[in-house]
Amino acid sequence: MSFLSSPKRAIFANQNYPLHLALFLLTVLTTLWAGAFWGGHPVRFGTLSRMLKDLSIGIPYSASLLLFLTVHEFGHFFACMHHRVRATLPYYLPMPLLPSLLSLGTMGAVITVKERISGTNALFDIGIFGPASGFIVCTGLLLYGFLHLPPADFIITLHPEYLAKGGLQTPAPSGSLILGKNLLWLALEHLIAPKNLPPMTEMYHYPFLFTGWLGSLVTALNLLPVGQLDGGHLTYAMFGKKGHTIAARTFLLFITLLGLPALLELVLALLKPEAVSLIPPVMLQWSWVGWMLWAFILFRLVGLSHPPTGGDSPLNTPRKISGWVTLAIFCVTFTPVPFGLT
């Protein structure tokens, strides 16, 4: 039976199920391992029962992060099914178990669209359903995390040195990883105002807050209006080729300017440390060197342009409204300085 006569059956018939399942199970393992690490109890090699006990500590982190990734990617997949566009099931990408602060256990998940998208409506729906559904999940994780914080002494059990130094109000040691805040986080922090909210240097020990924060970061990165990212699909569908081109170049310039002061600081620190003080502190406060890497990836690997669909046409009013709502989601999840060091 041909694809056109039975599109949904063809979508499910042409899948590499063993590979998808193997990657998923491996990602479960690596995220459990990462969750135990971030929870302050790294997995110890030894007996199987001890390793399983250590891995169980990572269940909240692993389940939350995989829930976000799964909902995001299946949002794209089901939109493809609806518009009869062939696509793969999600490929989960396990991350090597590196002994570093960047061991999240996964590099995310992706689907591959295997044919040209038929029209603007299909492009819009495929682009929007991933980040929109993922945003609902990460917001839910943050809400749950804010409303179900452990007792204030929880972090003391992981870092007893805080007790000796006078509590959580003590500044974190120099070189500590600090996670940045976006508008969504600031709004929840203001509205809920929890008493036991950890400092941003310790937030990664709280699995629901951490995965909700990661989900909002991933949502914003996907919604950058560049190339064939989700945001690129939306801007092309909403504003056409010319509007997409302007948005892509504008945001490439924007993130380059965001990263430039931090890159300059890094170069000066290596070559002429005394000159670092010449950079205005406010510029460094709002700068992250990682944006320079992202600018390179977008410019050289992803590309700024977007190919035309099988039939470009204006969107209807409900889709236009949904598009503007999703652009607002981008604004509240975008984090100018996601990672930093104290």
Which residues lie across from 178 on neighbouring strands?
340
Residue percentage of the chain with pLDDT more than 70 = 90
Q: At 234, which amino acid appears?
A: L
Top pLDDT among 103 and 219 is at 219
Lowest mean pLDDT among 18-22, 154-158, 176-180: 154-158
d(CA 147, CA 215): 18
Is there a contact between 124 and 237 (Cβ–Cβ < 8 Å)?
yes
Question: According to the model, what pLDDT value does residue 312 have?
Answer: 85
Residue 166 has pLDDT above 70, yes or no: no
Rounded to whole angstroms, how far apart are CA atoms 340 and 179? 6
pLDDT in tens, 37-73: 888 777 777 777 788 888 899 999 999 999 999 999 9
Give the chain's length: 342
Residue pair 74/91 in contact by the 8 Å Cβ criterion: no
pLDDT, position 94: 94
**Per-residue pLDDT at 157:** 78
Reported confidence tier of residue 99, pLDDT bands at 50, 70, 90: low
What are the Cα distances from residue 83, in Å, to 72, 87, 111, 321, 324? 17, 11, 15, 20, 22
User: Taking residues 87-94, what's their average pLDDT?
Assistant: 95
Q: How many CB atoms lie within 10 A of CB 249?
A: 13
The whole-number average pLDDT for the span 203-226 is 95
Instruction: Provide φ and ψ at 9, rounded to 5°.
Output: -65, -40
Spell out the domain ranges in the chain: 1-115
pLDDT one-digit tens code per residue, 10-29: 666 678 899 999 999 999 99
Report pLDDT for 73.
Answer: 97
* Three-class SS state of 251: helix
The answer to whether the predicted template modeling score (pTM) of the entire model surpasses 0.85 is yes
Contacts of 205 (CB under 8 A, 6+ apart): 38, 39, 40, 154, 155, 158, 198
Q: What are phi and psi of 341, to 5 degrees?
A: -125, 140
What is the sign, positive or negative, of the torsion defined by CA atoms of 123, 249, 294, 60? negative
Q: Which residues contact 102 (CB under 8 A, 6 or more apart)?
A: none
